[in-house]
Chains A and B, each alone.
Chain A
Amino acid sequence: MQNKEINTDFETRSLDAMCINASEINHPWWYNFKYIIAGILFGIILTKAEVISWFRIQEMFRLQSFHMFGVIGSAVVTGAISVFIIKKYKLKTIHGEEIDLQGKPFNKGQIIGGLLFGFGWAMTGACPGPLYAQIGSGTTVIIVTLISAIAGTWVYGLLRDKLPH
């Protein structure tokens, strides 16, 4: 019964969110602590790689440094090889669940939204991940940027049916 409910939920969400929760297993809430650990690692890497640096983002968009292209490029290659291995050997999660990677269909949002996000990325020098890490690294004023980003997401949700997709 519950599965059915979750599946309809999954359908609606999969259109919008990348980080859809494909797991059908219900764990106690404290299982989520492993994601804090993963997040901490991710935050340290983003910060130490200077991905959260406004200066690095400006260098990237002005073609003045290879650094960011190197980071993104090598991350994609590593990620793609990993996904290939996971699919090829049908690897399971540590809980024995099959890994389920849903594709995401193309729509106009990726073009219009993508350009708008690109503008915001160059202005703030941060994509959503670095926003959190910038706050953590001590630039508290970025809380304002984060709240604005939440507001932007909210306004998108409100206008969604009126926007071309």
Chain B
Amino acid sequence: MLEWLHKPWPWYVAGPMIGLMVPALLLIGNKTLGISSSLRHICAACLPAKVPFFQYNWKKEAWNLFFVTGVLIGGCIAATLLASPDPVNVNEKLLIELQQYGITNHDTLVPVDIFNWASVFTLKGFLLMVFGGFLVGFGTRYAGGCTSGHSIMGLSNLQFSSLVATICFMAGGFIMANLILPIILKL
């Protein structure tokens, strides 16, 4: 059992568990699953700057900030107490492709060859972390939700708008990963 916990969890275990977060949050406090709103609450709390979009009572949404703090702690627990002993399993083809870009280390879930403090100041690192992060924050708020809010919660509620959003998330990802990202990784 313990050994099983340490290994990466298969999709048919993890997926339904993620799905169960939806009723769990609804039942414990009438909350709908969503993460990207936390970014907005942080803006409203730290730098509202008279922008109407950030003028609301963010304290009433504080539960969401508690929730994401938990996600951070959860990541920490999973990476320490439940750490997997083996390198991350990556598709052979992808490994070969990534080797051309100098990404050979797959010991961790985030490739340290490109995501490290020194690379923030290189063009590649800047594009991937700073610009990429900007797109995540801008895009999710523009779309009104992220993978959890739209793709899991919204689709569970059979919302048309969430279906459109999910299709666009995927389309954007396919375009970036296959057409643009190879150019960035070659930098």
Q: Which residues of A contact B (CB under 8 A)?
A: 6, 9, 12-13, 15-23, 29, 31-62, 64-68, 70-80, 82-83, 85-86, 91, 93-95, 97, 99-101, 103-107, 109-129, 131-142, 144-158, 160, 163
Contact = CB atoms under 8 A, between A and B. Distances in A.
Interface residues of B, number: 134
B43 A154 contact: yes
A35 B77 contact: no
B28 A123 contact: no
Interface string B130-159: 111111111111111111111111111111
Given A17-B37, A119-B139, A150-B137, A79 B153 contact: yes
Given A23-B30, A149-B136, A152-B138, A36 B11 contact: no
A32 B66 contact: yes
Interface of B: 5, 8-9, 11-40, 42-43, 47, 51-54, 56-57, 60-64, 66-79, 82, 84, 88, 90-91, 93-94, 98, 106, 108-112, 115-117, 119-120, 127-162, 164-178, 180-181, 184
A117 B19 contact: no
Q: Is the interface of A mostly helix, strand, loop or mixed?
A: helix
A74 B152 CA distance: 10
Given A19-B35, A71-B15, 16 more contacts: A18-B144, A18-B154, A19-B31, A43-B74, A46-B71, A57-B177, A64-B94, A110-B161, A110-B164, A110-B165, A116-B172, A123-B184, A128-B148, A132-B69, A137-B75, A151-B134
A147 B132 CA distance: 11
Contacts of B181: 58, 122-123
